[in-house]
Amino acid sequence: MIPHQATEERAAVRGGQVRVLRRTAAAPGRTPLVLVHGGGTDNAAISWHFAFSDFGDDRDVIAFDLPGFGETANIDPLGGPAAMAEFTIEVLDALGLDRVLMAGVSMGGDVVLNVALLHPERLAGIVLVAPGGLSPVLRGKAVQFSSWAAGKLPDAVLFGLSRMVTTQAERMVRGIIHESSTLPDAVLREFVAEQQRPGANVGYARYNQATLGPWGMKNDLRSRVHEIETPTLFFHGAEDPMVCPQDSQVAAALMPDARIHLIPSCGHWAQLEKPTIFKNALEGFFAEIEARRTAQGS
């Protein structure tokens, strides 16, 4: 699937081909927006289905598939979020992008947090949609341990189990949103297609193996978020069953330049479930950043 008003291209990175979705603005001039998809069964076209038509009138919008997801090919999956952050910078370099706005959802939010810590000079602002990387433990010690133990299984067993749930793909995706009627049919079809792709779930499996400990998360950044001075917007569904909304609230309170939108009657895929609210929130945030930059003369 190619989202409405997006075009598809390939970028050469690390000897492989990164699938890039892009909309080039008719009247460019504003800071480009780069989008990082989530984990599980996801890719750039799923997470950012609405973004190209919603944000591409006056700024370039770019999304890409991380290794092990979607149609990016011939690059080994990366593992943890810091490695994904460094890869994201390589993609920016390959596309000739210097300073950007960057948004990430779930696992992608974890990646964006790491970009902000490792390469803040590349960011004009960040948007974190139900981000990972801000929790000490999954929802319950039993869930934490069983998830960690699953990651220790041999690949043949682990990915065999993943293939077994392919027939439940529609039920899975509807389990992470609050109102099933809000999800476009095209997104659901792409979700099913991604589940059936050869090599599906490898990228997310490597991320989980890198971040899950038996009793807690290895990627908990709460002790470091105060270092992030980049303007930040959190956008989180109040009924998110996957990532606790309180994680975003706590992190936002610790950061020097953060604000949060907590969205009622909304689950994990807030940018897909409430696209109009998402569009308005981001446009206001981007306007704030650009007005501040103008006032500072930079």
Instruction: pLDDT band for 158, please (50, 70, 90 cuts).
Output: low
Helix (H) or strand (E) holding 272: helix 270-273
Average pLDDT rounded to a whole number, residues 33-38: 99
For tokens 């959190």, what's the residue?
Answer: 234
**Lowest model confidence (mean pLDDT) among 68-72, 112-116, 185-189, 269-273:** 185-189
Instruction: pLDDT band for 153, please (50, 70, 90 cuts).
Output: confident
Q: Characterise 151 by phi-psi region: left (phi > 0), alpha (psi -120 to 50), beta (else).
A: alpha
Residues 6+ apart with CB under 8 A from 284: none
Phi, then psi, of 124 in degrees rounded to 5: -90, -25
Average pLDDT rounded to a whole number, residues 158-187: 73
Residues 6+ apart with CB under 8 A from 296: none
Domains of the chain: 7-296 (3.40.50.1820)
DSSP readout, 104-166? EETHHHHHHHHHHHH-GGGEEEEEEES-SS--SSSSSHHHHHHHHHHHTS-HHHHHHHHHHTG
**Predicted confidence (pLDDT) at residue 65 exceeds the cutoff of 80:** yes
Pairing of strands 232-237, 123-129: parallel
**Predicted confidence (pLDDT) at residue 163 exceeds the cutoff of 60:** no
Residue 107 to residue 202: CA distance in whole angstroms: 14
